[in-house]
Amino acid sequence: MMNGKQYVESLKALRPRVYYQGEKLDAPYDHPAILPHVKTAAVTYDLAGDPKHADLMTATSHLTGETVSRFTHLFWSVDDLVRKIEMLRLIGQETGTCFQRCVGLDGINAIWSVTYEIDRAKGTDYHARFRKYLERLQREDRMTAGAMTDVKGDRSLPPWQQPDPDMYVRIVERRPDGVVIRGAKTHITGAVNSHEILVMPTLGLPPEGADYAVICAVPIDAPGLTLVFGRQTNDERKEEGGMFDCGTSFGVVGGESTLLFEDVFVPHDRVFMAGEGEFAGSLVDRFSAWHRANYGGCKAGNADILLGATTILAEVHGTIKNSIVKDKLTEIVHLVETIYASAVGSSAMGTQLPAGNWLVDPLLANTVKQNVTRFLYQIGRLAHDLGGGLLSTLPSDADFRNGEVGGLLTKYFAGKQGFATEEKRKLCRYIENMTSVATLVEAMHGAGSPQAQRIVMLRQANLPEKARMAKKVIGISEK
């Protein structure tokens, strides 16, 4: 396995085509807008090398018997599912922000399970291809970005009826040695600083949509692939560097990109579905279940840091002993532990798939994410309430460093004795950044919109069976 430094060096050996704010970046991994995302992901590599965290951060590969990063591991038991949630909370606590590796992890598990079933039904060799690919990922400890969300165009129309057929990624040419794909994926977390892109369909597909049923692995610097790094509300602050206005030494990050596939050739050994659209729905459902459960781990870890920062700021303000303040902090605790408990619960109730890996309980997993779409906003509201208006009006770090007004600002923004004004500023900036539009919208729409979860929840709830149970208990005869 790599450590954080080796991970950064491995990226710099790549030559991806990356654009940001209209500029082609010749050295993207040194650019101040992208470097924080690289540094945050590097923490996951360093934690894996720490013996103190080995039980969470690493696992024994059932493919090779070697110790591998849990981010390249298949969920081979309920214990693996639970440990993943524990791992995500740990990393959330260590970074205080998004660490960008979850989508790839869930992607490899979804692809493993579906390729097994395609091969059994169709006599293909996708699963054998993917096994070799996964062994390489584990051996080289490579970071993957899962690319599922298409740009979608007119959402009232299916992919094959779009006026422009490229609104969903599709196969435009089938060759003896591989396929050529075209289209765009968007909102792809961690794509710029990953080694590989796992392209997956975003919905189930009938026979007429077969060209859109494609799963494949594309190197980040493959010819024809262009990445456009998205904006965040705090991106200019990240470019300033430093600790204060960024919120942390990394900045509060997510690193979403739009991926433009312009006739990208993918050789057969990297193609794991090429037209079998009847299996695409299962892929999406399983991936979504695993990924939605994740949010109860990583967001709980991030919220732990937000809760800690809010608590310290209340101390700085001199309000920590107030019973109302304590009650609001208690409410944050309740919200955080609720999403974490439901993520652990969905993992504990997992079931084994035909391919051998384990799936979380889909109903509970979607409930996790539904709660996250609400609770993170409420946690942010409480942090804003306790932090005060200073979260939105604090002068910049440059003003505090100004020779004429900096000293006066330091004096007048002091809090309780024993706390430096500098510490108060750090707390305010972290809370502000961590509860920004970018972070809250990601909590809302990451892994699917709230309505997507409600659709699955209703489907999984099995209302007819619950109605039958009620009739039995109440004494209503079946008709």
Q: Which residues are catalytic?
A: 98, 102, 189, 256, 291, 295, 298, 442
- 441, two tokens: 């919208």
Give alpha helix (H) positions in 123-180. 126-140
Please report where in the chains the tokens 């590796």 appear, as a residue. 101
- What is d(CA 374, CA 367) in angstroms, rounded to the nearest whole number? 11
CB-based contact 109:72 (threshold 8 Å): no
Length of the chain: 479
**Helix (H) / strand (E) containing 210:** none
Q: Which helix (H) or strand (E) holds 219?
A: strand 214-219
In angstroms, the CA 470 to CA 121 distance is 39
Residue-wise DSSP of 399-433: HHT-TTTHHHHHHHT--STTS-HHHHHHHHHHHHH
Angstrom distance (rounded) from CA 144 to CA 195: 6
CA dist 42 and 192 (Å) reads 14
Strand partners, 228: 19, 258
What is the DSSP secondary-structure string of 103-157?
Answer: HHHHHHHHHHHHHHHHHHHH---HHHHHHHHHHHHHHHT--EEEE--B--SSTTS
